[in-house]
Structure 1
Amino acid sequence: MISWRCILSPNKGSAGIDGRTVYDLAAFVQQHWPRIGAQLLAGTYRPQPVRQVEIPKPKGGVRKLGIPTVLDRLMRRRLKLTVNEDKSAVGRPWERVFLGFTFTRQGREKRRKVSDDAITQFKNRVRKITRRTRGRTMQTVIDELAVYLRGWKGHYGFAQVKSPIQDLEKWVRRKLRCYHLKQWGRSGYRQLCKRGVSVRLAWNTAKSAHGPWRLSRSPGLAQALPRQYFMSMGLPDLVDR
C-alpha cells in the first residue's frame, strides 16, 4: 500500500487546483473509483493542470512551483510514471487487471471484480497462517487471520461482484475446520459430541476414512463449528450482511 507520507512529500500535502488535500483523498477515491478505475484500465486517465505558486528564495526573489492534485500524485506513485513496455498492453477493461481488480461485462454494465491473481494471493496467505506445523491455538490463528482479513476487506470490499468473496469466506471457515480437526486428533469424536453433534453423526465423522480436508466440509463439522462460532472468536466477514 502507498504511504500517505509519499503523497505529502515534497509539498506537505498542499492542495492542487481542485482544492483537495491529502486528508480528503481516501473518501474521494472510494466515492469516484468506478470512474477513475475505468479510466486507468482504458488508458484514458489524464492528470489535471498543476497549481502554480511562488516560493520565496533564501537570498531574495521567488521561484515558481507547480503543485499537482493529490489524486495525480497518488496515481504517479501507484503507476511509477515509467511505462514498462514488456508488461504494458492495451485492452478492454474486463481484459485488464489494476490494483487487484478487473471488470466483468454484462451487456453494457461493467462491474468491479476481484482478480484471479488477487484470490490466489489471498489463499496463499491464509494457507500460510493456518499451517498445521505452526502448532498454535485456534484463537491465536484467528487473531492473526482477523488482522489480514480486515485489511484485505478494506481494499477489496470495494468490489461489486460479491460471489467470489463469499466463496472465500466459506473457504476460510473450511480451512479453520480442517485445522480444528487436525488439532483434535483422536479426541475428534468427543469434541463433536461436546458441540452438540449426534452420536451417530459424530462417530461417522470421526471414524471416516476420508482426510481432514475432505471432512472439513462434512455436515458434522459444519454443525459443530458454524459461522457463528468463528465470529464469536473474532473472525470478521469479508462481505457485510
Structure 2
Amino acid sequence: MELISAITNRSNMLQAYQRVCRNKGAPGVDGMTTDELKSYLQTHWQPIKQQLLEGSYQPQPVRKVEIPKPGGGIRMLGIPCVIDRLIQQAMHQVLSDQFEPMFSPHSYGFRPSKSAAQAVHQARDYMESGKRWVVDIDMAKFFDRVNHDLLMSRIARVIKDRTVLKLIRRYLQAGIMENGIVTARTEGTPQGGPLSPLLSNVLLHELDMELTKRGHSFCRYADDCNIYVGSERAAHRVLASTTKFLEQHLKLKVNRDKSAADRPWKRCFLGYTVCNRRYNIRLRVADKSVKRFKDNIKALLRMARGWSIRKTVNELTPKLRGWINYFHHADVKGVFNELDGWLRRHLRKILWRQWKRGRTRKRMLMRLGINEKRAMLSTTNGRGPWWNAGTSHMNQAVPKKLFDRLGLVSLMDSYHQLKYNL
C-alpha cells in the first residue's frame, strides 16, 4: 500500500480525528473549531481525500500567534486550520512508524515511550559516571530557521512516495497569516501543527548520528541538547566542533550567548538542575522553574479575585497536578513544602480581601474558631492582606485541613503518594 493510501485509510483517519478532537486547540484562519469538524467532514471529506490521493490538495495558511517565552523573548506559533491539523495528525501517525526505528535512543522529545524525565535521569547517570562537564547547546529560533531543502532531502532518504513528499513540502511552505495578510514562508517549520515535532526530529537526527559517531554522551529533547564530557578542555572543544557542525552542515544558528561549556549544577536542563553532594548527584527543581511556577500561579490568582475560594481551588488543581507529575523525580521535599505554605498564604490573602470590612473579618474569624478579643485585635492591626495572611490568627482560622477539605492539592502530600504508592 502506498503511504498516501495508508494516511487516508479510514481507521488511521478515525484515530487522527479522535486525537485532534481530544486536544481541542484554537481555530486556524478559517475560524472552524474542533466541535464543527465532524459535520464538516460529513460533507467535504470525500473531495478532500480525492485531492490528497491525487496530490492536488493545497493546505491553508497558518494563523500566526506570538506567545512570551519563559526566559524572555517571543515564541512564534503557526496554528493550522482544524482540517489541516487532522491531515497532519494522520500523516504523523504513519510517518512516525517509518522514522522511529532509525532514531537515536538518546533523542527523547516528542517520541512514543520517551519523556523529559528519561532524559533528565540519563543526564544524571552520565554525571555519576564521572562526566562532570556539560556542553549546553542553545539553537537560536530553531523552528523558525529549518532549511526546507535540507529537511526534504533527509525525509526523501526514507520516504519514497512522491505524493507524500509533495504534501509535506506544501505544509512547510504554507503561508503565515497575520492581521489578514498572508506572508510566504521560505524556511522554518513553525510550532503548532502535529507534524512539526516529527520533522524537527528528522533533521536533528543528523546531529544525533554525528555525536554518536564521535563517541559523545548526550541527551537531546527536541532542540534542547546537552553533551556530557569529563574535562573543561574537552567541553570547550566539543562546544566549538558541535557549533560548527550545526551551522555549516545543518544551516542552523547557535546562540553563542546562551550556549556554554560549564558545570552541570550551574545549568538548567528541561526545568531541572543537579546538586553535587559528596559525589552523590541529585536532581533538583531549577530556580527558574520555581519562579515560573509562582508567576503562573500569581497570574491565575489575579484573575480569581471575584471567585469563590472553592472555584479558585478547582482552577488551581490541574496546574498543581501537572507540576507534581513533572517534577516528582527531583529531590523536592524542601521546595514542595515551601511552595505549599506559599500557596496557602496566597489563598488566605484572597479570603482576607474578600472579607473587606473589619466587622466582616471579625465575624468570620470568630466563626472559624478565633475568640472575640483576638479577632478584634487582628482586624484592627492596620496591616495589609499579605501580612495578615501569614499571621497565627489566619493560620489557625484557615488551617491546612480546611484547604484539604476544599480539595486543594498539596504538593508534598501528592509527592509522598507518588513516591511510596500510597
Please indicate the TM-score interval, normalised by the length of the shorter structure: 0.7 to 0.9
Amino acid at match of 2:368: R
> In the alignment, which residue of structure 2 is the partner of 1:155?
326
| 2:370 alignment partner, SS class | coil
> In the alignment, which residue of structure 2 is the partner of 1:75?
220
> How high is the sequence identity, in percent, across the aligned residues?
27
Matched ranges for 1:21-36 at <5 A: 22-26=111-115, 30=117, 33-36=120-123
Q: Which has the higher helix share?
A: 2
Give 1:7 deviation, angstroms: 8.4
Q: TM-score, normalised by structure 1?
A: 0.75
Does 1:104 pair with 2:275? Answer: yes
| 2:291 alignment partner, SS class | helix
CA distance in 2, matches of 1:140, 1:56: 50
CA distance in 2, matches of 1:188, 1:170: 22
Give 1:200 deviation, angstroms: 2.4
| 1:90 alignment partner, SS class | strand
> In the alignment, which residue of structure 1 is the partner of 2:399?
226
Whether the 8 Å contact between 1:188 and 1:206 is mirrored in structure 2 is yes
| 2:411 alignment partner, SS class | coil
Whether the 8 Å contact between 1:182 and 1:212 is mirrored in structure 2 is yes
Per-residue CA deviation, residues 9-31 of structure 1 (Å, 9 max, x unaligned), is 842474458899944324xx646
1:182 to 333, 353, 360: 353
Whether the 8 Å contact between 2:348 and 2:394 is mirrored in structure 1 is yes
CA distance in 2, matches of 1:98, 1:9: 31
Q: Which runs of 5+ in 1 are unaligned?
A: 45-53, 60-66
Please provide the CA RMSD for this pair.
3.6
| 2:390 alignment partner, SS class | coil
Over 3 Å counting, the alpha-carbon distance change for 1:76 and 1:174 in structure 2 is: closer
Matched ranges for 1:28-177 at <5 A: 30=117, 33-37=120-124, 39=126, 42-43=134-135, 57=160, 75-79=220-224, 83-131=254-302, 134-177=305-348
Give 1:173 deviation, angstroms: 0.4
CA distance in 1, matches of 2:320, 2:408: 8
CA distance in 1, matches of 2:159, 2:277: 55
Over 3 Å counting, the alpha-carbon distance change for 1:230 and 1:180 in structure 2 is: same
2:96 to 11, 15, 30: 11
> In the alignment, which residue of structure 1 is the partner of 2:75?
none
Over 3 Å counting, the alpha-carbon distance change for 1:55 and 1:161 in structure 2 is: closer
Give 1:75 deviation, angstroms: 2.6
Give 1:121 deviation, angstroms: 1.2
CA distance in 1, matches of 2:377, 2:119: 53
Q: TM-score, normalised by structure 2?
A: 0.45
> In the alignment, which residue of structure 1 is the partner of 2:364?
191
> In the alignment, which residue of structure 2 is the partner of 1:48?
none
Whether the 8 Å contact between 1:100 and 1:114 is mirrored in structure 2 is yes
> In the alignment, which residue of structure 2 is the partner of 1:64?
none
CA distance in 2, matches of 1:211, 1:152: 30
CA distance in 2, matches of 1:7, 1:161: 36
Whether the 8 Å contact between 1:132 and 1:179 is mirrored in structure 2 is no
Whether the 8 Å contact between 2:120 and 2:269 is mirrored in structure 1 is no
CA distance in 2, matches of 1:38, 1:202: 55
